[in-house]
Structure 1
Amino acid sequence: MLTDNQRGGIIAGYYLGHSCRAIAKVVGCHHSSVMSWPPAID
């Protein structure tokens, strides 16, 4: 069972990770270290 903080962190990481990828595609920036985080969620 996840705590609220753990669940919030996972959700935030998921959306931040996808937002970074989407922004990178639009802007054309290639920050692979940012785009690959979190590595376990795609």
Structure 2
Amino acid sequence: MKSTDTSEKGLESIVVASLVEEAGYVQGNSQDYDREYAVDGV
């Protein structure tokens, strides 16, 4: 029997996969995020 990952990281993986595979989002890179201006530079 396969166990379910109920951690925060497991939930994040499910959400990201859904957004990228089903909703057409493009996964970004955290290094592109400008914390000072709160925007993604790419």
* TM-score bin (small chain): 0.3 to 0.5
Structure with more of its chain in strand, by fraction: 2
Greater relative contact order (Cα < 8 A, sep 6+)? 1
TM-score by length of 1: 0.38
Bigger Rg, structure 1 or 2 = 2
